[in-house]
Structure 1
Amino acid sequence: MAVRLFEGKEHASSYWRYRVSPPPELINKVLTFLKAHGDSVCELAVDVGCGSGQGTVLLAQHFSRVVGTDISPAQLEQALQHSTAPNISYRECPAEDLPFENGSVDLVTAMSSFHWFDHPQFLQEADRVLKPGGCLAILNYSLDLELSYGHCSRELNLICKEFYDSLQSHRHSHLGPGSRVLYEQIYNSLQYPVKEWEPSYWTQQVVPLSRYIGMMKSFSCYQLLLQKDPEEALRLSQDITQRLLSAMKVTSLETEVTMAVRYFYLLACKPPSQ
C-alpha cells in the first residue's frame, strides 16, 4: 500500500467493533454485475486491503474461495479472530503485489481501502490477476454520515456536520480533495469498456449512538488528530457526544439511532478477449 495507517492493535480492534460492513444489497449489485457482464464463474474472490475482514466475510457464501489481503498484521489478526467460514483465508501483502497467478481471479474488491493504494500500480496488478471476464469492484462511503432520532434529526445532523468540518483539516494529504472525487476520476480513466459508476447509494441501519461515535473516531482524520493533539481529540469527541445526547434528551450512549451511510462505487469488467 502507498500509505501505511491503521496498524496499531487498538485501532485494528476499533475497526472491527465500529466500522460498517457493505450492506448485502450492495454486495448483490457487485455479484449481479459480475454475472451479467463477466464469465459467471464464482471460484475465487480477492478482497484487497481487507482490514479486519468485515467485507471479506460477505463474499464467502458466493465464492468457492475468498482471500483477504492486507499489509497490516494487526488488522489481519482481527480478521482471523472473527472468521469462521472454511473457504476464507488471509494473506499479508501490499495491494500492489498480489500473490496470485496471472488470470486466476474472478473478482477483485477493494472496500474502503483503494484511496490508500498506489492507484496506477494497484489497477495494473488487479488487471494482471483478473481472469478475462473477471470483475473489479471498488467501494467506499463518505464521511458525512446522517443520524435520525425522533424529532431532533435536523439538530443532530447539524452537530454531526460540525464534527466532520472540524476533522477536515486533519485529512491525510494522500487523500487529496476527497475519495469520491478520486474514485470518479479512476472510473473515467479505466480502459475497460464495460463499467458502472454510482456516486450516491444510501443505506440505513439502526445502531447505538456509541457505534456512531466509535466509527467516527476510527477514521484516519480523527486518528491523525489524536496523534498530533490527544487533548484536543478527546475534547472534540466528548463535546460532540454530549451535544448529541443533549439534543436527543437521553443519557445513555446505547440509545439507538438510525444511521444513514452514503456509498459510492465503481464496477468494471475485464474484456473476455484481453
Structure 2
Amino acid sequence: MAYRLFEGKKHASSYWKYRISPSDDLIRQVLDFLEKRQCCITCSILGQKGHPFELAVDVGCGSGQGTVLLAKHFASVVGTDVSPAQVEVALEHAKEPNITYRQCVAEELPFADSSVDLVTAMSAFHWFDRPRFLQEAHRVLKPNGCLALLNYTINMELSYPDCCSHTLNQVCKEFYAALQPYRSPHLGASSMELYREAYESIHYPDKDWQECVWVKRPMPLSSYMGLMESFSSYQALLREDPQKATALSQDICQRLMSVMRVTSVETEVTVAVQYFYLLACKPKEA
C-alpha cells in the first residue's frame, strides 16, 4: 500500500524551502556505480566529454531538489510525484531545459520497458507500495540500468563554534523524542529497516548497501527548524494539536539559541545528516 502525504501547496512550498537534497559526493557515488556498469557506452551527448546518460527518472521527486542534481549528467531527466502541488512547485523552479515533471503514482511509471538508465527515489521510497515499485523499477530499467534509493535519518547532529555539542544535541534529541509518538506506524521504528529489507529482497547479484554516510551542511538555525517542521511526524502533531506543535518548536528553538548564546534564529549552524542508500544494477540478461 502506498501512502499519500505532503500534498498541500503550503507543505510543498515548505519542502522546496527547507528540505535537503543529497550532496554532490552522494550523487557522484550513484553515478560512479552506474558508469561502471555501463562502461561499454561510448557515445557523447550534449557536446560533453564522456557520456551523460540518456534518461534518469526521479520517483517521488517532491519539489525537485534532488531531481535538478541529475540534470548535467543525463540527456533527459523526468521527476515524477503523486502530488499535483509538489509537481506545481517543482515546475515553478524548473530552469534546466532537459528536466520535465510528470504527475503519476510510483507504482505505475509512464515509461516503456527497458528504457531508463537510472531510477532514483530520494527520501520517498518508504512511502511507496514497495514490492510494486520495485517490480515497476525492474520493468523500466534498461539491462545494466541502476536503481538508487537514498534516505536520511531524523537523528541529525548540530554543531556551533565554542558551544558544547553534547548539550546542543541533547536538546535536539528531546525534540526527536517528542515527535516519535507521531511517527507513522507504517515506517516502523526506523525507515532504514525498510530499505535494508528492500536490499535483501532485490535478487540482482550486483548491488550495494551503505547505512552510515555523514554529510555536513551549514544552514541558518531557522532552516534546521523548518526542515524538522516539514517531517511527517511534526505535521501529524500539527494536525492533531496546532498549539502544542507550535509551542514545541518555539521552545526547542529558544533552548538551542540559549545553548549557543545567540539571539538570532538566522545564526548559522552546521547540521550533520546521516544518509543511507541502496544501489542495484539490473542484470544485462534480465
TM-score class, shorter-chain normalisation, is: over 0.9
TM-fit CA distance, 1:178: 1.5
* Residue deviations 1:161-197 (CA, integer Å, cap 9, x gap): 0000111110112112221011111111210000000
Who is 1:122 aligned against? 133
Alpha-carbon RMSD: 1.0
Measured in 1, the distance between the counterparts of 2:217 and 2:62 equals 21
TM-fit CA distance, 1:36: 1.1
Deviates more, 1:171-180 or 1:103-112: 171-180
Contact 1:38 1:135 in 2 (8 A): no
Q: How many pairs align?
A: 274
TM-fit CA distance, 1:39: 5.6
Q: Which amino acid aligns with 2:28?
A: N
Q: Which amino acid aligns with 1:74?
A: A
Structure 1: tracts of 5 or more residues without a match: none
TM-fit CA distance, 1:256: 0.5
Match of 1:236 among 239, 244, 248: 248
Measured in 2, the distance between the counterparts of 1:31 and 1:251 equals 42
Measured in 1, the distance between the counterparts of 2:150 and 2:102 equals 20
Who is 2:27 aligned against? 27
Q: Which amino acid aligns with 2:194?
A: L
Who is 2:83 aligned against? 72
Who is 1:49 aligned against? 60
TM-fit CA distance, 1:21: 1.0
SS in 2 for 1:210: helix
* TM norm structure 2: 0.94
Contact 1:38 1:272 in 2 (8 A): no
Contact 1:205 1:258 in 2 (8 A): yes
* TM norm structure 1: 0.98
Q: Which runs of 4+ in 1 moved over 3 A?
A: 38-41
Q: Which amino acid aligns with 1:273?
A: E
Q: Which amino acid aligns with 1:52?
A: S
Who is 1:142 aligned against? 153
SS in 2 for 1:199: strand
Deviates more, 1:157-166 or 1:168-177: 168-177
Q: Which amino acid aligns with 1:155?
A: T
Who is 1:261 aligned against? 273
Q: Residues 1-274 of structure 1 correspond to what in structure 2 (within 5 A)?
A: 2-38=2-38, 42-150=53-161, 151-274=163-286
Q: Which amino acid aligns with 1:256?
A: E
TM-fit CA distance, 1:81: 1.0
Identity rate of aligned residues, in percent? 64
